Structure formats: C-alpha cells, structure tokens
Chains A and B, each alone.
Chain A
Amino acid sequence: MVKLTINGRKITAEEGTTILYAARENNIYIPTLCENEAVAPYGACRLCLVEITTAKGRERLVTSCIYQVEEGLTVRTDTDRITRIRRMLLELLLARCPDSEVIRELASKYGVTRTRFTKQKGNNKCILCATCARTCEEVVGVAAISLARRGVDREMTTPFSEDFSDVCIGCGACAYSCPTGAITMEDVNGTRVIKWPHNQMEFKLKKCSVCGRYWAPEKQVEYVARTSGTPLSDYDVCPDCRD
C-alpha cells in the first residue's frame, strides 16, 4: 500500500492505482469525460488534471486518470489554477457541442453558463474522446469504428464513413460507453438502429423461440457463438427462458 495526501486528507491506496481511482475510493470528486473503467486510460479530455508535488518536491500538473499513486505524493484536485483550466476546457466544449446536456450540466457545475468562443455546428454532441472506439476495440474486440483524420478534421466514424461496417455486430457498447449521449441505440420492431454522429447502421434482431422476444442482434449472436466455439442453435432461446 502507498500513503499519499489528496486535498490535505491522508489516504492509502494500492500500488498501481491511478490518482483518479484512489480519489474516487475516498469520495473525492474529480471530473472526467474520456475515462472509462473498462478501457485503458487515454488522457484526452484533460478535465481530470490535478496538481501534484512528488516526495522529492517536484511540482507538476498531471492527468489523474493516468498518473499512478506514489509514496509521499501530495495531490490537490481543486486549486484556482485547476479550476481556471477546467472552466476554459468546458468553455471550449460548450462551443464544440452546444447541444449536449451532459456538457452544459458539467459546465454549470463550474459556473460556466456561456461560451465566448464561436459555436460549432454538426458535431452532434461528440467530443472525440474515442471511448466508443476504444471500447469496441479493447472490450468487444471488434474495432468496427474509429476516429478518422487529424486535428480539427477528426471524426468518429465507420471505415470510409459508410453506413455500413462489415465487422460491426451491433452490440451497442459504443452507445453504452459514450459519455455525452452522442451515440444512440434503439430497438424497434425487430430492428436495432445505432446512430453515430455522422452515420447510422441497422441490425436485424434475433427472436427467442420460447417467449418470442427480440433479445440480441443476429450478428452479435453469431459473433459470440463463433468466438466461444459454441453451436449457433444454443442461442435460439433468450437468457431469460433458459434453464
């Protein structure tokens, strides 16, 4: 175990834990957007920046979602400097995604209710945190979507931005992990529609042979059967109707 101080509170944390998780375990709030426990830390939204002083006395700003706890570390999560940075980042986000309720709510928490920057159009709540693409690759193991192009032209999209991704299984993990609601998923009449910021895809759902309920996309069922080496017929019945 490692001893450290966060906002004056002495805490202990397991070696290898990030500052962010050590803080959360001790009910100390640090805002995040691109962080998700299911995937490797990314450090892109910069909202979780904190000020640290190492045991050797070195002071610096670090992303708490990546930086790991150290013996004798002093962490400050809400100094004036940190607040200034977060307010500016939120102002930039308000300009990028003026329609996102999540961003507006987080911004107002820091007293930011308007942006001085030019508002952008057409980003559809997407902050380009890549949580969807990272989940698709790291958790699902499919990599059906990704971020394409560089810098200000960056976009979350399917290969060649087509309304079709050959490998997508329609599992919806992207929609589930999106922190701003930029990706949505809806099952209607045996069809699942996943809407990404710039395109969308439809999937046929599988019907349970017992209760008749649509319970998963056919492509996902096939993927699970294939990767687990089980016969497809095992999936005719939904989990609720199984023994």
Chain B
Amino acid sequence: MTKLKSLGELEALRKSIIGKRDPKKTVITICNGTGCQAHGCKDVTATFQKEIERQNLSAKVDIKSIGCPGFCERGTLVVIKPRDIFYQRVRPEDVPEIMTETIGKGNVVQRLLYTDSKTGKKVTYEPEVPFYKLQKRLIIGNNGLIDPTSIDDYIAIGGYAALAKALKMSPEQIIDEVKKAGLRGRGGGGFPTGLKWETTRRAHGDTRYVICNADEGDPGAFMDRALVEGNPHSVLEGMLIGAYAIGSHQGYVYIRNEYPMAVRHMQTAIQQAEEYGLLGKNILSSGFDFDIKIKRGGGAFVCGESTALIASLEGRVGEPRAKYIHTSEQGLWGQPTNLNNVETWANVPVIINNGADWYAQIGTENSKGTKIFSLVGNITNTGLVEVPMGITLREIVYEVGGGIPKGRKFKAVQTGGPSGGVIPESLLDLKVDFDELDKAGSMMGSGGMIVMDDKTCMVDVAKYFVSFLEGESCGKCLPCREGLRQMREILTRITEGRGKKGDIKLLEELSATLIDAALCALGSTAPNPVLSTLRYFRDEYEAHINEKRCPAGVCKLEAVKVNEG
C-alpha cells in the first residue's frame, strides 16, 4: 500500500478499486458475525471454499466474509450477489446444493429461503425480507456489503469520502453541521454531540483527546460489538472527523477484551488506515495529524461511565469520580477530552456525507436519525435492528421483530439495559425516542431491548437486573454498594415468599436515595428496574408478599407455615 497524499489520490484509488471489480461477478457473502460464528459460519465458509476449488470456479466466484447484518436468529446467513438471493440457516451440508443449483444453474434453493411468518410466503431476495425492509439501515446496513478486514472494500462503498469532505470544511463548520443534524449520544446519555465537541474544542488545555467507548456491557446488547466487528473503518472515520473538528491529535478506542474479534478488526483497520496515510502525520496533505491507539478494558460495566473509563485508560482502577468539572474540560490526564460511543462516531460520516438537513429529516423533534437496538428475549426475530427514531414499540416488536413466539402473549419490554425500565403493553404505541422513553420511566440507554412474554415474573426480572448491577457496582460510594446489596436482598426474599409488609415502601425509599445520592449514573439509574416494575406491575409484588403467590408461575415460593409467628 502506498500512502495517499491528497484528496485526489484517495478518489483515484477509489476509482481504481471499483474499476477492478466486476459488478456482475458472483459473490457469496457469508456472515462472519459473532452470532453466526455460534451457528457455525466458519464451517460453512470452509465448505464453500472447498467446493469452489473442487469445481474450479475460483476465477468466477468470490467469497466474502461480512460483518453482522443483524438477523442473528436465522444464521448462518448467506447472500448470493449480485442477485441478492437470501439463504438462511445455512449448514455446511447445504453448500453443495447451493453450488450446483444456484451458482451452477442459476436456480433458487427453495428450502433455504426465509418464510414470512405472517403471509406464509417464501422470500427470495434479501431486501424483501420483512425484518430488513421495515428498518432504516444507515449505519449497520454497510456491514452486509464489506469485508471488515478490507479497507479497500470500505473505500469502494464510499468510505473516507466524508473525511475528505470534512478536511475541506473548517472545524467550526463541522461542529455546526453536527449540531444542526441534532445528533445525540448513542451511549445512553443522549447528550448533544455537537455541543460536546464545541465545549472540548473551546476548553483550555495543551492537548485534546478523543475517545471511542466500545465497552458495551449491557446483558443482551451487542450493537457496538457488531459495528466494530463489522465496519471498524466507519468508526475510525467518525473519530477522524471529530478529532479534526475538536483539534485533537490523539484518539483512543476503549474496547472490552471479551470482544476478541472486535479488538482484532479494529487493530487491522487502524493498521490499514495508517498504511494509506489516513491516520498519522499530515493526513492527505491537510496538515492534520491524528493517531489512534486501542486500550483493552477488563470488562467492568462501570467503565462505561466516562470518568471510570478514563481512570482505567490511565492505568488506574476503573472507578468514577464526581463530575463537577466535565471531562470535556478536564478528562484524560487532566486534558480536555471528548468521549463518544461507537454508534455516535459511526453516525458522523453519514451526517457529513449527506448533510445536516437530510439527516435531521429522520426521527422526531428532539431525537434525530436512527438507533440500533439489540432485540432479544421472547421475540421471533432475535437480532440487531436499526430503526428511525419515532417508530413505535409495537412496530419494532410485531413488525420488525415478528411478534412473540410459541403463541404467547406480550407482557413487557425492557429498554435501556439493566438500568433501564420495563414498558407494559398499554404503552406499546409509544414513539421510541430519548424523551418519550424517559417519560415512561425507562430510557434509551445504549439500545438493549428485551422482550418478555406472559410467562415472565416482573419481580424476578427486577431481581435479575438489580443482582447484575450489584455485581457491577464498583463499591466506592455507600448508597450504591450497600443500597444495591439490600435491594437485592429484599427482592430475593419477596421472590422466595418471605416478603414482608413494608417491603415495597422500603424499596421505594431506597430507590429515591440511590437516585439522589449515588456518585455516578450506575447507582443513580440502578433503581429503574424496581421502580418501573412497581409502576406497571405493582400487583405482582403484592401477590408475592401478601398471598405468597407468583402470578407468572416463575418463583418457587416457600410453603407458608400455618403456625408461623
């Protein structure tokens, strides 16, 4: 690879990559995401390779390992391009038939097609699969088009064009564009991104840092993982644009070490970008220098909290501190620091490429763009879904998600991860955006969405999330450490039939204290699962305490002794 020295050379490279590729050539794209790896995609890929060699088709057929396109439920996913024939649940033994029938004769293998659960009809082409059709895949859509370990693939689909455009703009213009677009932080806080960039740019300091938070830690959430694994260059491009706007020359990607493929793909992407001169000194002869380092996290949920993440990055114990001085003023090593989440960074190139006005048309008044959700739990189509802000929960659950399996009834959906809240059936028509979810007692969080059917006990759900948070509390501040310990104890005794009168009141008082007094957002949002289940399913708590009965039939309540007391 030779270093690109100008915007013109980048465009010339793009033309040459595209020019060398035959758009009519058959490409078998196989999902290599973590979900499909669990389904055995590596064996499927190996079998395709063997078959192609055996049939001497190497010159005519390409194989491409792609990142996660989101439809994890149906893995291993195989798409035959350019026709976009969509095969699902492909096993190694299906490969010879695909090779003979589809590659050889151009026929479609009917039994591997997806059947629409609503109409009962087979769907042949990927864009027509209802799961995808109802989404707006601005960010995650590219996962299906590229090999994440190939910078040329990214450049071929228009990658780094936003950087080229940004380098011709002034930093202030970029910040204005991001502000006008209305982009808000996707990590959970929902803070306006442009404003954060502006504060960091204006802060006093010798050096400015930008950080990408890839420390996703919510149980059941994997959207950031899929983005870093499936399209790491989009994150790097966002960081480059942000760094240029903020005036930073050093960036960090903080990735949890439990995401080995994400770490590997990010390392490859950084190396490739350096080789092309898209990272390093005097990028594309613009005079702008920027380097990125990877820091691997040890897997502490609390390190999603900015001050704890920064402490961990500095090599100290990942514990938060009071944020009376913002990290945008004094962050990493005491210098102005801008921290954004993976998905936020990945949105930046989309905004610069298409313009703020175009971007701001998507979404609701105060929540613009799309959001990727991990749709999991009792749902037919488990996977990652990217939907425009303002879509209703009903549409996500029943249209995109395909409803509740086994003919069961919907009961609630937990949004916002462990410190989010449950939303009951009566609020299914709620428009999903930052403010509406807050009003309902839950939150956007980083985008976890756990669907629960009528066989779910809501007290048990609250206990599960509180136990998770108790285990992840750093233990520094008293209300979080002692409060969550006691909260879990109370919930445990309720689910075991030892609940006492006054327990609900005590849970509420304790929750109020955590909200007011905890040091960081882990503690202050920790009562959400309790408060939201109490708000919508109080009768279940009462049944456990007063009647020693679990309405959902989940909890094994101790038999009540007749002569007790």
A interface residues, Cβ below 8 angstroms from B:
43-46, 49, 61-63, 66-68, 81, 84-85, 88-89, 92-93, 95-96, 116-118, 127-128, 130, 147, 149-154
In the complex, the chain A residue whose C-beta lies closest to that of B493 is A118
Q: B474 at interface (Cβ–Cβ under 8 A)?
A: yes
Q: How far is the CA of A92 from the CA of B477 in the complex (A)?
A: 12
Residues on B with C-beta less than 8 A from A44 are 476-478, 519
The residues in B between 171 and 227 inclusive whose CB is less than 8 angstroms from any CB of A are: none
Q: Which residue of the partner chain B has the closest CB to A34?
A: B478
Question: Which residues on B are within 8 Å of A, measured CB to CB?
Answer: 300, 321-322, 324, 470-479, 481-486, 489, 502, 506, 509-510, 512-513, 516-519
Q: Which partner residue on chain B sits nearest A81 by CB separation?
A: B516
B contact residues around A127 at 8 Å (CB):
478
Beta-carbon nearest neighbor of A43 in chain B = B322
A85 engages B472 (CB within 8 Å): no
Please determine whether A151 and B481 come into contact, CB atoms closer than 8 angstroms: yes
Quick check: A92 and B479 within 8 Å, CB to CB?
yes
Across the interface, which residues of A come within 8 angstroms of B518, CB to CB? 46
Interface contact A84-B512, CB-CB below 8 Å: yes
Residue of B nearest to A115 (CB): B486
Please give, as numbers and ranges, the residues of chain A lying within 8 Å of B472 by CB-CB distance.
150-151
**A152 to chain B: which residues have CB within 8 Å?**
470-471, 473, 475, 481, 484-485
* Contacts across chains A and B counted by CB atoms under 8 Å: 91
Q: Is the CB of A92 within 8 A of B482?
A: yes
CB distance from B322 to the nearest CB of A (A): 5
Residue contact B479 to A89, C-beta cutoff 8 Å: yes
A49 to B518, CA, bound (A): 10
* Among A43, A49, A96, contact of B482 (Cβ-Cβ < 8 Å): A96
The answer to whether A62 and B324 touch (CB under 8 A), given A92-B483, A116-B506, A151-B470, is yes
Q: Which residue of A lies closest to B324 (CB)?
A: A67
Interface of A is mostly: mixed
Q: How long is the Cα–Cα vector from A3 to B295 in the complex, in angstroms?
A: 44
Complex alpha-carbon distance, A141 and B153, angstroms: 54
The distance in angstroms between the C-alpha atoms of A27 and B513, with both chains bound, is: 27
Q: A43-B477, A49-B516, A89-B517 are in contact. Are A117 and B486 (CB under 8 A)?
A: yes
User: Apart from A44-B478, A88-B479, A151-B484, what 14 extra A-B contacts exist at CB < 8 Å?
Assistant: A43-B322, A49-B517, A66-B322, A85-B517, A88-B510, A88-B517, A92-B479, A93-B482, A116-B506, A128-B481, A130-B476, A150-B473, A150-B474, A151-B481
With A92-B483, A95-B486, A150-B300 known as contacts, the answer to whether A85 contacts B477 (CB < 8 A) is: no
* 12 interchain pairs, CB-CB under 8 A: A43-B321, A46-B518, A61-B516, A63-B322, A89-B478, A92-B478, A92-B482, A95-B482, A118-B489, A147-B475, A150-B474, A151-B481
Kindly state the separation between the CA atoms of A128 and B519 in the bound complex, as whole angstroms: 15
A52–B115 alpha-carbon span in the complex (Å): 60
Q: Inside 8 A of B482's CB, which chain A residues have their CB?
A: 92-93, 95-96
Question: Chain A nearest CB: distance from B75 CB in Å?
Answer: 35
CA distance A127 to B475 in the complex (A): 11
Q: Which of B483, B506, B519 is A43 in contact with, Cβ under 8 Å?
A: B519
Complex Cα gap A96–B324 (Å): 29
Bound together, the chains give a CA A61 to CA B512 distance in angstroms of 13
The complex places the Cα of A127 from the Cα of B300 at a distance, in Å, of 23
- How many Å lie between the Cα of A96 and that of B482 in the bound state? 8
Which of A68, A149, A152 counts the most chain B CB atoms within 10 A? Answer: A152
Q: Residue on A with the closest CB to B506?
A: A116
Q: For the complex, give the distance between the alpha carbons of A81 and B509 in Å.
A: 12
In the complex, the answer to whether A46 meets B481 with C-beta atoms within 8 Å is no
Please indicate the chain B residues that have their CB under 8 angstroms from the CB of A61 in the complex. Answer: 516-517
Q: Is the CB of A151 within 8 A of B517?
A: no
Q: A49-B517, A61-B516 are in contact. Are A151 and B473 (CB under 8 A)?
A: yes
Known: A43-B322, A62-B324. A85 touches B481 (CB 8 A): no
Give the nearest-CB partner of B489 in chain A: A118
Question: Known contacts being A61-B517, A85-B517, A88-B510, is A128 close to B475, with CB within 8 Å?
Answer: yes
Nearest CB on B from A229, distance (A): 30
The answer for the CA separation of A152 and B479 in the assembled complex, in Å, is: 11
Closest chain A residue, CB of each to CB of B514: A88
Q: Which residues of A contact B324 (CB under 8 A)?
A: 62, 66-68
Contacts of A154 in B (CB 8 A): 475, 481
**Within the complex, what minimum Cβ distance (angstroms) separates A120 from chain B?**
8
- 8 interchain residue pairs of minimum CB distance: A154-B475, A151-B473, A88-B513, A92-B482, A151-B475, A46-B517, A117-B486, A66-B322
